[in-house]
Amino acid sequence: MSDAGTVNEHSNLRPEREAYYERMAGFDLSPLWEVNRRLVTPEPVIDAVPHLWDYDAIRSGLLESGDLITTKEAQRRVLILENPGLDNSHRIVDSLFAGLQLIMPGEIAPAHRHSPAALRFVMEGHGAYTAVGGERSYMKPGDFIITPAWAWHDHGHDGDGPVVWMDGLDIPMVALFGPLFFEVHAEDQAPDTVPPGDSQARYGANMRPVGESWTRLESPIFNYPYERSREALEQLRQGADWDKCDGLKMQYVDPTTGQSAMPTISTFLQMLPKGFSGETWRTTEGVVYSVTEGSGRVHVTKGEETVTMNWKEKDIFCVPCWMPHRLEANEDSVLFSYSDRVAQQKLGIWREIKGSA
């Protein structure tokens, strides 16, 4: 109980206090004054480390899983990205899960639903679809797709060759609060109730149906095609009002609110021009980056140590809470990222410092 640096350390009442603590422990009580500085630290104390997964190095291992287990057996054929500082707790940063999911031609990842929400960011391949809430959406590299909390979803593949996407889920957040629920659908595929493209037509054309209201917490658009997001970045670069830390960074939004497309996870797409050398940014959100185009470096400082990670197309890297980092690009580059920013903002705990403050 009496750790170095606690108020108890130098007291001549120490034996009495220790005896008291022991008695109180018998009532499941403990003295705040002994643990305060570890409980509420002056600055974040983070076990997660900055880390990069080299896609070229892990791709063949991921494809190997296709010969070892079917989607039917696995439900989801996913390799989890484990943060090396978080003891195999299935987290890439404190509050977020990341995985790489593989689906082969003709396979179906059977329908289920769960209370955690998911995002997909397509890494490679064509012809796979995800069906969300009765609507199929075909996935292309760079597409960002939402699976809302508790929505039925299954994945399938009508094309050729492997399809891989990155899964981002808020499982650790939901687990912290407790309400993890999971249910398997009676059928492999939930019924198609709306034609593909329905949600895009309703809410993705800068219009909305008259007389229809949207009250759910996530965006009614569940597929944000890369083609359109990329085009927006290309157009905006003409204006060249680059942010000194982020380059040109856009957030995916729910068109009915202008707020984060998902209620618990913020999602972004950013462009860094060739030769970009960003200023340092530090934020309380844990961030997962997926490199869509280009190559470059990120320098991340954890405590006394700064690590440099070289990234290229399809690599995934994470920057945990409050670690100063800066981005550099060798060539025109595009990064997708997701973080717990929106959740922290809703709780009133999000902060950032941009530039060398």
Q: Which two tokens stand for residue 293?
A: 């185009």
Q: Verify binding: residue 172, ligand GTQ, rule CB under 6 A.
A: no
Closest separation in Å from C-beta 197 to ligand GTQ: 22
Of residues 65-84, those binding ligand GTQ (CB under 6 A): 76, 78
Distance between CA 62 and CA 186 in Å, rounded? 29
Among 6, 71, 95, 101, binds ligand GTQ (CB under 6 A): 101
Among 117, 163, 169, 288, binds ligand GTQ (CB under 6 A): 169
Q: Verify binding: residue 99, ligand GTQ, rule CB under 6 A.
A: yes
36's enclosing H/E stretch is helix 32-39
How many CB atoms are located within 10 Å of the residue 330 CB? 16
Of residues 112-141, those binding ligand GTQ (CB under 6 A): 114, 118
Q: Which is nearer to ligand GTQ, 51 or 302 (CB)?
A: 51
CA 312 to chain centre: 19
Sheet hosting strand 135-138, strand order edge to edge: 135-138, 128-132, 153-157, 108-114, 182-184
Q: Which is nearer to ligand GTQ, 80 or 232 (CB)?
A: 80
Q: Verify binding: residue 93, ligand GTQ, rule CB under 6 A.
A: no
Closest separation in Å from C-beta 82 to ligand GTQ: 13
CA 102 to chain centre: 18
Closest separation in Å from C-beta 78 to ligand GTQ: 4
Closest separation in Å from C-beta 25 to ligand GTQ: 39
3 CB-side CA count, 13 A: 11
Distances (CA, A) of 34 to 3, 5, 241: 8, 9, 51
272's enclosing H/E stretch is strand 266-272
Q: Which is nearer to ligand GTQ, 61 or 355 (CB)?
A: 61
Q: Verify binding: residue 167, ligand GTQ, rule CB under 6 A.
A: yes
Closest separation in Å from C-beta 312 to ligand GTQ: 23
Distance between CA 143 and CA 261 in Å, rounded? 14
Q: Which is nearer to ligand GTQ, 114 or 325 (CB)?
A: 114
Residues that bind ligand GTQ (CB under 6 A): 76, 78, 99, 101, 114, 118, 153, 167, 169
